[in-house]
Structure 1
Amino acid sequence: MDVRADPPAPRSPVAGRRRALKYLAPGKFTIKTPKGREQAFGVDDNTKITGHGKICGEGQSCTAEQLESSTKSGVGATVVMKNGVATSIVETN
């Protein structure tokens, strides 16, 4: 996930390294920041989710439901957030 949550920025990628993305609640997830903190964020209908085999097929567009079911045990991802909502989630292998 591309998480640069410290400090908040208008668009905050969470550092282009593989990060553990975890399910928190319906429509809510967490990811570890480069400083080791858990950052919560939401997804909405505009979030672009791209799989790499665990969320959904490699290079395919995934649904929020697929994301929720695959992240209950954690998945590596690059996430770009804006105002606490993911604009892009790309699964990493």
Structure 2
Amino acid sequence: MFGLGNIALITSSQCRAARAFLDWSQDELARKASVTVRTIRSFERGSAPYVSTLEAIHDALVRAGIAFTNDDTGVGVTMRHPEP
């Protein structure tokens, strides 16, 4: 996982796992993050999007109840209650 400032940005694997938790398609994540489906597909294949795009993807998943972890035990994804 990599980050910028106070926001922790996610890996492509975390993005795929988060979508699986939410049972979201790439199309749905693209709509929720206000990015193109092509951007989601490209990111999940390993391409690095613009930081602002990554923030939009991250924020959409967090609003839906996803929490990203990165500590000594590894990188992960957990499901929390969605934000109001």
**TM-score (normalised: structure 2):** 0.31
Query: 1 or 2, which has the higher strand percentage?
Result: 1
By percentage of residues, which structure has more helix?
Answer: 2
TM-score under structure 1 length normalisation: 0.29
